Amino acid sequence: MNIFLRRSLEDQIPISIIYMKKDGTITKRTIIVRQKSKTQIKAFCFTNHQIRTFLLDSILSCDFVRTRKQEPWFAGL
């Protein structure tokens, strides 16, 4: 997971996350990470069109956002 968050932070590219809110609701969001600490990230959320704080422990999964024409990140390995 850290590689996706770091890459989004360094290159300002969008990533997709699956996030569990405090009430247990699970949402899918597209974000660009702006800041990262040991416990949370601050990111621009395309769902709300504003900066939001996400707890790292509540991020269930993440991946790069792809268009249909893009190859998977591991295709060149």
In the chain, where the domains are located: 2-64
**Distance between CA atoms of 7 and 52, rounded to whole angstroms?**
18
Model confidence over 10-64: pLDDT tens digits? 999 999 999 999 999 999 999 999 999 999 999 999 999 999 999 999 999 999 9
Q: How far is CA 55 from the centre of its chain?
A: 11
Chain Cα centroid distance, residue 35: 12
Predicted confidence band at 69 (pLDDT cuts at 50, 70, 90)? Answer: low
Is the CATH number of domain 2-64 3.40.50.620? no
Question: Can you tell me whether residue 39 is helix, strand or coil?
Answer: coil
Q: Is the pTM of this model over 0.85?
A: no
- The number of CA neighbours under 13 Å toward the Cβ of 27 is 12
Sign of CA dihedral 22, 26, 31, 36: positive
pLDDT at position 75 over 70? no
Residue pair 44/51 in contact by the 8 Å Cβ criterion: yes
